[in-house]
Every structure is written in structure tokens, then in C-alpha cells.
């Protein structure tokens, strides 16, 4: 395992140490450790079924880990129910989007609304509609009646309504048209420039390489590689071993 | 003309209680995914409390304040129940939570009996609304108009609440995806509690508001369940306008149907439900449910295995003990063991449908009692010998299950369950009301076995043969192609259909088969008691069966037998005590909280490895 000595983040936002998670009796995650600093984007890479989504669900508390600790802003959040973790300022954008289909776009956003938070960017509806102009036009449309790309934007906007200081983005580029993927890259860079920390999961390197600072590769529920994105790009062996081409 | 307008308005007013109670049930189910059987009890409690309050608070405003206060009081009682019981078991399998809602029903029945006495109470007419106005020459009671106004206010209020407030938005979001709202920072716990308050408030409001028309009585709790389930099935679960339209449809058909055909009430409900199910299987305002969304009994089951040698030895030992029992046991304990065997067969037939079949029957007593009545009727009207009449039980029950099942299997999950309950209630009402044929409340008596089975011991062996035989047939069936196909349909209807299984037909036949074996239990039962009463077909009996299965454990094949035996024994011990319902209800709640995997599931988890049986995870 290599480390990323050249990046010393002055402020660790989220620190996951040695977590183990189970679905029933199936041992899904084993000794997963991650760290992300303020304004940093960490790519969590791995093939389908490697354990990326479970890692995110474990962090947000939907699949509480059986062992290990998770520190967010210096506080241990492991074992807290998801709503409390979310209220600490950790946002979660699920892979399957989980839009409330019968609720309008505005109502979907309303569900995510949380009070303004110290040290985190504050999102109003206007600011979100600036970031996602499509959503503004569709505001009264039911969430189930918009395109996949719009749903992906909506699910991010909905999480931003909680004014998080860090977000977990689970495969945001999945199933999107290339032009929308470009828009997604812009969006993520905007979030970074606002000071948000992001953990981004992806199956391949291409999308992550545009936005991420560092990468962690996970396979069969274990960490296989850690390094900067540049290092990873120069390392075809690791890429071929653990990532989809 | 005036007559028809008044008749229409009467229908509208009687739709009011139905709408209030059904929308409450629907709201609670939407968010918590619990079919709250205590809902009927809250309706009853609302009526009783309002009856008492109206006696204290005078005048027009006093009356309406009483109505609101009693609904609030019941809402708070419901919150207590939610916080003390349901909160602890939201993670338990959905159906198991049902059992937890049976406990409070029993407790509330005893408390209401203790506080308000056994007599039906007749409510005084509402002050200031006891007159009638005349519409084109026909008088129309003012209070009926008030009820119409009340449901309009509630309908509008609910619409505003759900569409114009943040709380309502969160509730609608929770109805779609509970985990997601939690990950967005919403505390589900309090949302659930709030929803439980609102739903129960509406139930009690319905009960309280109808006191001037119908009073308060101890049978209101079960009486309302079937109609509101029908309303929810017709209207579409989770849809408030749907609940309103369905309540209206049923009530209007009632008031106009009575003009043409006075005894039509039940048949009409049955017909409306049948027509809606055929034309719009998911209800007037409902949406088709995603496959596997409802009615899943927890995590997927492990495949069944044939019994291990040790488990077979245990089974043989129990059977051996049962065989020699008459040598030393008293007649009294023989009767108790016979009851256990009969009810074990009944419970096993429910389990067959619910566990491996994936179809929950809330009304299986229809087939148990139906079988018993088939025997009793054929015996008393045609004087057939017992050797022939006995088999009318399974046959009759099978025929009934074929009829009801044809409609029920068109839906799945909780809708199917509600339909079974509604049909069972129809069957019960027919038996109860058609006195000339069935003896009504007096039942049919003098149904005894043939002389060669005259002694207790002889009939005991007869019961053992058919009871244990029936259970073994049910178990054996699971390992036949028919059983494989049925379990395949449970696990995935789509995939089963794509490999050539006719899912509806498969489930229909499984339903009928289970009904036939419940009928066999009914046959055994009627000859052991010598009589049959409508109670054996009632919802309470169906619920007993469900409690047995769920207490025993849905995921173990031994569960229903363990559950039925434990329940029968418990019932025998405590039903002689005062307040036995409070005791039984509390015990049920305690067992649910202590053993969320059921009695047999608990033993299997502890000792399953020793018996060589895989344990559930």
C-alpha cells in the first residue's frame, strides 16, 4: 500500500478506521479505513460489487458497521442513526437516486431542507437553481416524471438542501449521457470550490480523474490501493487488476 | 325526487365514519407498513370515551368538544402503544408486527368491558342537531348533514396537511422511502409517532362522531375492520381520495340497495369488491405495487430441508408419547391435547399458505368454521353417517376457498390479506344472519361421531390420525413439484411466470388446498365438541390462528405446531381467570418483544445446530 505523503490536509473532515460491515451473516466490508480532508475529493474506486456502496451506507449509518470507528469533524458518529449523522452535516447521495417519485421537485428539495450550518456552504433554492437550471423549470413536475440525468441532479440538490460540509456521492456518473457527465464534473468542481469534502465512488478511473485528488481502490470489501490520482494514472498494473476498463 | 336526494345524503353521511376510520388506517400503513389491527379498537374506544364525555359537557359546543377530546385522548393512547411496543419492533419482520397489534385489542376489550359494562350504550342525540330539515318534502336528520360536513372538513384538512405543510411532505416522502428520508436528516421515529397519532385520531373521531346514531358497544372493534379493509382495497392503499370514494360507493350502494333488496348489504359489498378487483385490481386510486414490495415475511428464507435424524427422532418420540397418552391421561387432558392437535392442523394450514406460499390469510377461520359447518349442515339436514359427513368438512372448505381464493390471489401482500379478511367476514355474517339454515347464534348442536368412535380415547386416536396425518401431508407437499412451484411463485412471481408457471392458478390451488386442510381441522373440531357456533368462523378465531403461527415462528415448519400447542395450553390456563384478555394480551406483547423470531425460531436458533437443522440468519 502506498500513502499520499505529499498531501497533508490541515483539517480532517471524515476519518473511517477499520470498519467491518455485514449483511446478515455475509461479511461485506473488512478493515476499511479512509480519510478525507476539507475541500478534498476522494475517489472510492472498484468494480461492481466491490463494496463501494456498502462503505457509503456504513458511513451514513444505513448499514451500521459492526466494528471500527467513524469520526466526522472529530466526533465519533459510528452507531448513530442516519438522521443524526445527516444532521451533523454529512450528506449522502445514493447510487439509485431514490427520488420521491410522487413528490414534486420542490417537495423533494423540501424533504432535504435542514437549518444553516456553521462552517458549511449555505444553499438556498435560488442558489441550487443557479447550479441546476433544469430543475428550476421543472419545479412542479413529479420526481418520477423527469429524465435520469435530471434525477441525478435532483438527488444531489436534495442532499445539498441539508447544507452538508461533506457528501458521499455514490456513482454519480452511472447511466448518464456524456454531455450530462460533463455537467456533473462541473458541478462537483463547484462543490469543491465551495469547500465541500466529497467521497465519490466510481467503477472506472476516467470520470474520477477529472475531479478527484486522491483515490482508494476497494475490492471484495478490502482496501487494495491508496494514492493520488496522478500516481494511479501512472500505474496500469493496479488499474488493470482492480478496475473496469 | 326529494326521497332520492335524502337517500343519497344518507349514504353520504354513513360513508363518513367509514372514510374517517379507513383513511386513518391507510395513513398509518403507508408510513409504518404496519396493518394496525388495533385500529378497530381505537374506533370503539373513541365512541366509548365520547359517550362518557357528552354526558359531562353540555350543549352544542360541549358535544363537539367531547368528540374532539375523545379523539385526542385515543390518539395519545395510540402514541403510548406506538412508543412502548411498536418502536421496539419496527426492525422485526412486517407480519410479526401484526401480532403485536393483537395484544392491545384484547387489553382494550377487557378495559372497555370493565369501565363501560357489557351492555350496548345508546348515545343521546347531538344537542342542537336533533331535528330534521325537509328536502322537497322528505325529512333529513340534521345530524346526518353534520356528519357530511365533518367528512368534508376532514378531507379538506388532510389535503392541506399533506400538500401544504412540511410535515405532510415528509410523511408522503416516508411513504415512498423511509431510509432515504432518514439519510436526509429526518427523524423517522417522531414522524412515525405523529402519523400514528393522526391515524388513530381519525379512527376515534369516526367512532365518536357516530355515537348519536349508533351508540357504543363492545363488538365495534371487529365489526368495523372488514368494511374499512374493503374500503382500503377498493380505494387503493395510501390514497385518501380513494378511501373517500370507496366509502361513498359502498355506502350509497347500501342505502339504495336496501330499497330494492333488503338483505342485500353483505352481498353488495362482496359484489362491489369483486367487480373492482376484476376491473382495477389495484383499487380505484391505487397504483400497481412493485413485485415483492409487500407481504414479504422478513429476509428471504433458507430452502427447506428434510428433517435430520435427530429431529426425526424427536418427532417420533413426541408421536410415541401422544400414542400412549390415553393409557395414563385423564379425559380432561385428552380433550386438551385433542384441541392442540386440531388447532395445530389449523395453524399448519395457515402457515402453509403464509410461509411457503407467501400469501397471508387474515380470515382462515372461514375455512375452519366453514368445514365444521359443512359437516354440521349435511348431518342435520340429510342425516348422512359420520363416515361420509366427516369428509364434507375438507370438501366444503375447499369449495369455499376456491371461490374466495379466486378473487384473493388476484392481489398480493397486504391487499390479499385484507381481502381474505373481508371474505371471511362475509362468510361469518351469512352464517350468523341466515338463522333458518344455520341456527344463527344458537349454532348447530348434536353432531357426534359414530358409536365406534364414541369413547374419548377412540376419538382421540381418530383425531391424532387425521390431525398429524394432515400436518404431514402439508409438510410433504412442500417437497413435491406442486410445493416447489408454490415456493417459486412466492420468491418471484415474474421469474416463475417466465418459466411457464401459471402463477395465479398455482396460488389459487395452494389457497384451496390450505383451505381444505383447515376444513379437515374443522371436521375434527365439530365432532370433538358435538356442536358448532358462528364464533368458530369469526375474526377472533382467524386472529387466534395467526397468533399461533406467528408466535410459533413463520420460518420454521415446526412453528405452527409449537405455537398452536402453546396458545391452546395458555388459553386453557388463563381463560378461567378474571381479566384473562388483559393477561393474554400482555403475554402476547411480551412474547413479541422477547422473541421476535417466534418460539420455534428461538429454539431453532439456540439448539438448531444440535438437531442438524440450518439456522436462520
Query: Model confidence over B107-126: pLDDT tens digits?
Result: 999 999 999 999 999 988 88
Residues in chain B with CB shorter than 8 Å from the CB of A81 are: 182, 187
Q: Which residues pair with B613 in a beta bridge?
A: none
Task: State the pLDDT confidence band at B300, using cuts at 50, 70 and 90.
Answer: low
Task: State the pLDDT confidence band at B295, using cuts at 50, 70 and 90.
Answer: very low
**Lowest mean pLDDT across A84-93, B89-98, B572-581:** B89-98
Residues in chain A with CB shorter than 8 Å from the CB of B184 are: 83, 86, 92, 111-112, 114, 158-159, 161-162
Selected for mutation to probe chain A from B172, B183, B241, B302 (highest A CB count within 10 Å) is B183
- Give the pLDDT confidence score for residue A243 in this predicted structure: 81
- Give the pLDDT confidence score for residue B398 in this predicted structure: 97
Q: Is residue A201 part of a domain?
A: yes
Task: State the pLDDT confidence band at B616, using cuts at 50, 70 and 90.
Answer: very low
Q: Is residue A139 part of a domain?
A: yes
Question: What would the grid cell of residue B497 be?
Answer: 411466470
- Of B320, B470, B331, the closest CA to residue B391 belongs to B470
Measured CA to CA, the distance from residue B38 to residue B196 in angstroms comes to 11
Query: Is pLDDT of B613 > 70?
Result: no
| CATH number of residue A127's parent domain | 3.40.50.300
Residues in chain B with CB shorter than 8 Å from the CB of A111 are: 169-170, 173, 181, 184, 186
Measured CA to CA, the distance from residue B444 to residue B459 in angstroms comes to 20
Q: What is the mean pLDDT of residues A70-95?
A: 94
- SS3 of residue A44 by DSSP: strand
Measured CA to CA, the distance from residue B211 to residue B55 in angstroms comes to 12
Burial A30-43 (b: 16+ CB within 10 A, else e): bebebbbbbbbbbb
- Give the pLDDT confidence score for residue B301 in this predicted structure: 59
Q: Is residue A123 part of a domain?
A: yes
Q: What is the average pLDDT value for chain B, to the nearest integer? A: 87
A9 C-beta neighbours (distance < 10 Å), count = 16
Domain ranges for chain B: 16-219, 331-537
Q: Is residue A13 part of a domain?
A: no
- Give pLDDT tens digits for B245-273: 999 998 898 888 888 777 666 677 777 87
Indicate the residue of B177, B187, B617 with minimum beta-carbon distance to A100.
B177
Query: Is pLDDT of B614 > 70?
Result: no
Beta strand A12-23 pairing with A67-72? antiparallel
Q: Is residue A223 part of a domain?
A: yes
Q: Is residue A19 part of a domain?
A: no
Q: What is the mean pLDDT of residues B346-367?
A: 92
- Give the pLDDT confidence score for residue B272 in this predicted structure: 81
Which residue does chain B place closest to A114, by CA atoms?
B185
Query: Cα B203 vs. chain centroid, distance in angstroms?
Result: 17
Percentage of residues of chain B with pLDDT beyond 70: 94
Q: What are phi and psi of B350, to 5 degrees?
A: -70, -45
Chain position carrying cell 403461527 = B549
Chain-chain contact of B172 with A103 (C-beta, under 8 angstroms): yes
Q: What is the mean pLDDT of residues B52-56?
A: 91
- Give pLDDT tens digits for B220-242: 998 898 889 889 888 887 788 89
Residues in chain A with CB shorter than 8 Å from the CB of B188 are: 83
Which residue does chain A place closest to B185, by CA atoms?
A83
- Of B182, B161, B149, the closest CA to residue B27 belongs to B161
- Give pLDDT tens digits for A37-53: 999 999 999 988 899 99
Dihedral angle sign, alpha carbons of residues B363, B368, B372, B375: positive
- Of B372, B369, B375, the closest CA to residue B425 belongs to B369
- Of B246, B224, B226, B227, the closest CA to residue B236 belongs to B246
Beta strand B444-445 pairing with B138-141? unpaired
Q: Which residues of B touch A (CB under 8 A)?
A: 166, 169-170, 172-173, 175-177, 179-188, 299, 617
Q: Cβ contacts of residue A44 below 8 Å, gap of 6+?
A: A34, A52, A55, A56, A199, A200, A201, A202, A215, A216, A218
Q: What are phi and psi of A33, to 5 degrees?
A: -130, 135
Query: Is pLDDT of B348 > 60?
Result: yes
Strands (E), chain A: 12-23, 26-37, 41-45, 67-72, 75-76, 90-93, 166-170, 197-202, 214-219, 222-228
Query: Is pLDDT of A70 > 50?
Result: yes
Measured CA to CA, the distance from residue B403 to residue B508 in angstroms comes to 9
Q: What is the mean pLDDT of residues B127-146?
A: 87
- Give pLDDT tens digits for A202-222: 988 889 999 999 999 999 999
Q: Is the CB of residue B543 less than 8 Å from the CB of residue B366?
A: no
Q: Is the CB of residue B276 less than 8 Å from the CB of residue B234?
A: yes
Query: Is pLDDT of B290 > 70?
Result: no
Q: What is the mean pLDDT of residues B42-47?
A: 97
**Lowest mean pLDDT across A75-84, A208-217, B243-252, B311-320:** B311-320
Selected for mutation to probe chain A from B170, B174, B185, B300 (highest A CB count within 10 Å) is B185
Chain-chain contact of A107 with B172 (C-beta, under 8 angstroms): yes
Measured CA to CA, the distance from residue B209 to residue B85 in angstroms comes to 28
Q: Which residues pair with A214 in a beta bridge?
A: A42, A228
Range of the domain at A119: 39-64+79-242
Measured CA to CA, the distance from residue B110 to residue B24 in angstroms comes to 24
Residues in chain A with CB shorter than 8 Å from the CB of B177 are: 98, 100
> For the residues of B183-219, what is the DSSP string, one character each?
HTT--HHHHHHHHHHHHHHHHHHHHHHTHHHH-B-TT
Q: Which residues pair with A93 in a beta bridge?
A: A169
- Give pLDDT tens digits for B485-505: 999 998 888 899 999 999 999
- Of A173, A188, A204, A162, the closest CA to residue A60 belongs to A162
Q: How many CB pairs below 8 Å do chains A and B form together?
A: 66
Indicate the residue of A62, A101, A103 with minimum beta-carbon distance to B183.
A62
Percentage of residues of chain A with pLDDT beyond 70: 96
Q: Which residues pair with B216 in a beta bridge?
A: B121
Burial B165-175 (b: 16+ CB within 10 A, else e): eeebbbbbbbb
Q: Is residue A71 part of a domain?
A: no
Burial category of A220 from C-beta neighbours within 10 Å (exposed 0-12, middle 13-18, buried 19 and up):
middle
Chain position carrying cell 407437499 = B477
Task: State the pLDDT confidence band at B310, using cuts at 50, 70 and 90.
Answer: confident
User: How many domains are contained in chain A?
Assistant: 1
Amino acid at each position: 500500500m502506498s500513502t499520499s505523503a505529499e498531501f497533508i490536509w490541515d483539517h480532517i473532515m471524515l476519518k473511517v478506521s477499520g470498519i467491518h460491515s455485514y449483511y446478515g451473516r455475509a461479511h461485506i466490508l473488512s478493515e476499511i479505513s479512509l480519510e478525507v480532508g476539507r475541500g478534498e475529493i476522494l475517489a472510492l474506486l472498484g468494480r461492481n460489487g466491490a463494496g463501494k456502496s456498502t462503505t457509503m451506507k456504513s458511513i451514513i449509518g444505513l448499514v451500521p458497521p459492526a466494528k471500527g470507528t467513524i469520526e466526522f469533524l472529530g466526533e465519533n458518529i459510528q452507531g448513530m442513526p442516519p438522521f443524526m449523522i445527516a444532521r451533523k452535516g454529512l450528506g449522502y447521495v445514493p447510487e439509485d437516486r431514490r427520488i420521491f417519485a410522487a413528490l414534486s421537485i420542490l417537495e423533494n428539495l423540501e424533504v432535504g431542507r435542514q437549518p444553516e450550518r456553521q462552517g458549511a456552504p449555505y444553499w438556498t433554492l435560488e442558489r441550487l437553481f443557479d447550479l441546476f437550471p433544469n430543475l428550476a423549470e421543472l419545479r412542479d413536475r413529479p420526481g418520477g416524471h423527469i429524465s435520469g440525468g435530471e434525477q441525478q441532479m435532483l438527488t444531489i440538490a436534495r442532499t445539498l438542501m441539508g447544507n452538508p460540509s461533506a457528501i458521499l456521492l455514490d456513482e454519480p456518473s452511472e447511466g448518464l449521457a456524456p454531455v450530462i457527465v460533463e455537467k456533473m464534473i462541473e458541478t462537483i468542481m463547484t462543490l469543491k470550490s465551495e469547500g465541500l469534502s466529497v467521497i465519490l465512488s466510481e467503477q472506472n478511473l476516467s470520470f474520477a480523474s477529472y475531479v478527484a485528488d486522491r483515490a482508494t481502490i476497494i475490492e471484495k470489501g478490502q482496501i487494495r490501493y491508496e494514492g493520488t490520482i496522478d500516481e494511479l494514472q501512472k500505474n496500469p498494473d493496479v488499474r488493470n487488476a482492480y478496475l473496469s476498463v | 325526487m326529494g326521497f332520492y336526494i335524502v337517500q343519497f345524503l344518507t349514504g353520504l353521511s354513513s360513508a363518513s365514519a367509514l372514510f374517517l376510520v379507513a383513511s386513518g388506517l391507510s395513513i398509518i400503513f403507508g408510513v409504518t407498513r404496519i396493518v394496525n389491527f388495533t385500529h378497530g379498537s381505537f374506533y370503539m374506544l373513541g365512541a366509548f370515551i365520547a359517550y362518557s364525555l357528552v354526558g359531562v359537557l353540555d350543549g352544542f359546543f360541549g358535544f363537539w368538544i367531547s368528540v374532539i377530546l375523545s379523539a385526542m385522548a385515543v390518539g395519545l393512547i395510540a402514541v403510548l402503544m406506538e412508543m412502548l411496543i411498536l418502536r421496539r419492533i419496527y426492525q422485526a419482520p412486517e407480519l410479526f408486527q401484526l401480532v403485536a397489534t393483537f395484544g392491545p385489542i384484547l387489553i382494550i376489550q377487557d378495559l372497555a368491558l370493565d369501565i363501560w359494562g357489557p351492555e350496548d350504550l345508546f348515545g343521546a342525540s347531538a344537542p342542537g342537531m336533533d331535528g330534521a330539515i325537509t328536502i322537497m318534502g322528505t325529512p333529513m336528520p340534521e345530524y346526518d348533514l353534520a356528519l357530511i360536513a365533518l367528512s368534508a372538513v376532514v378531507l379538506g384538512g388532510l389535503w392541506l396537511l399533506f400538500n401544504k405543510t412540511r410535515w405532510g411532505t415528509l410523511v408522503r416522502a416516508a411513504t415512498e422511502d423511509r431510509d432515504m428520508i432518514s439519510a436526509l436528516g429526518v427523524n423517522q421515529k417522531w414522524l412515525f409517532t405523529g402519523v400514528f397519532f393522526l391515524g388513530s385520531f381519525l379512527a376515534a373521531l369516526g367512532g365518536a362522531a357516530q355515537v348519536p346514531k349508533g351508540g357504543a358497544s363492545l363488538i365495534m372493534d371487529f365489526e368495523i375492520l372488514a368494511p374499512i379493509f374493503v374500503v382500503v382495497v377498493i380505494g387503493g392503499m395510501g390514497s385518501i381520495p380513494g378511501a373517500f370514494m370507496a366509502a361513498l360507493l359502498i355506502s350509497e350502494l347500501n342505502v339504495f340497495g336496501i330499497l330494492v333488496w333488503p338483505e342485500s348489504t353483505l352481498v353488495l359489498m362482496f359484489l362491489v369488491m369483486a367487480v373492482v378487483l376484476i376491473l382495477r385490481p389495484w383499487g380505484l386510486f391505487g397504483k400497481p405495487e412493485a413485485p415483492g414490495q409487500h407481504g414479504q415475511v422478513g429476509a428471504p428464507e433458507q430452502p427447506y430441508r428434510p428433517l435430520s435424524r435427530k429431529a426425526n427422532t424427536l418427532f417420533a418420540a413426541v408421536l410415541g408419547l401422544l400414542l400412549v397418552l390415553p393409557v395414563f391421561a385423564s379425559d380432561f387432558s385428552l380433550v386438551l391435547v385433542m384441541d392442540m392437535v386440531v388447532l395445530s392442523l389449523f395453524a399448519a394450514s395457515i402457515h402453509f399458505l403464509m410461509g411457503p406460499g407467501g400469501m397471508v390469510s387474515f380470515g382462515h377461520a372461514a375455512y375452519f368454521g366453514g368445514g365444521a359447518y359443512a359437516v354440521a349442515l349435511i348431518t342435520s339436514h340429510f342425516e348422512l353417517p359420520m363416515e361420509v359427513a366427516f369428509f364434507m368438512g375438507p370438501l366444503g372448505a375447499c369449495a369455499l376457498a376456491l371461490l374466495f381464493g379466486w378473487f384473493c390471489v388476484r392481489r398480493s401482500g397486504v391487499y390479499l390479506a385484507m381481502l381474505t379478511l373481508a371474505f371471511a367476514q362475509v362468510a361469518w355474517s351469512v352464517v350468523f344472519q341466515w338463522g333458518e339454515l344455520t341456527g344463527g347464534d344458537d349454532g348447530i348442536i348434536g353432531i357426534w361421531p359414530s358409536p365406534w368412535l364414541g369413547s374419548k380415547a377412540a376419538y382421540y386416536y381418530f383425531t391424532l390420525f387425521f390431525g398429524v396425518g394432515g400436518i404431514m401431508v402439508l409438510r410433504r407437499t412442500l417437497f413435491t413439484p406442486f410445493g416447489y412451484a408454490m415456493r417459486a411463485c412466492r420468491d418471484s412471481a415474474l421469474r416463475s411466470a417466465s418459466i411457464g408457471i401459471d402463477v395465479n392458478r398455482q396460488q389459487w390451488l395452494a389457497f384451496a388446498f390450505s383451505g381444505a386442510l383447515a376444513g379437515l381441522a374443522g371436521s375434527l373440531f365439530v365432532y370433538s365438541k358435538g356442536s358448532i357456533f358462528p364464533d368458530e368462523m369469526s375474526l377472533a378465531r382467524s386472529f387466534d390462528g395467526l397468533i399461533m403461527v406467528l408466535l410459533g415462528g413463520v420460518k420454521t415448519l415446526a412453528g405452527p405446531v409449537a405455537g398452536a400447542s402453546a396458545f391452546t395450553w395458555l388459553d386453557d390456563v388463563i381463560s378461567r381467570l378474571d381479566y384473562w384478555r388483559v393477561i393474554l394480551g400482555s403475554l402476547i406483547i411480551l412474547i413479541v418483544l422477547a422473541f421476535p423470531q417466534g418460539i420455534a425460531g428461538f429454539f431453532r436458533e439456540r439448539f438448531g445446530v444440535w438437531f442438524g437443522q440450518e439456522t436462520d440468519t
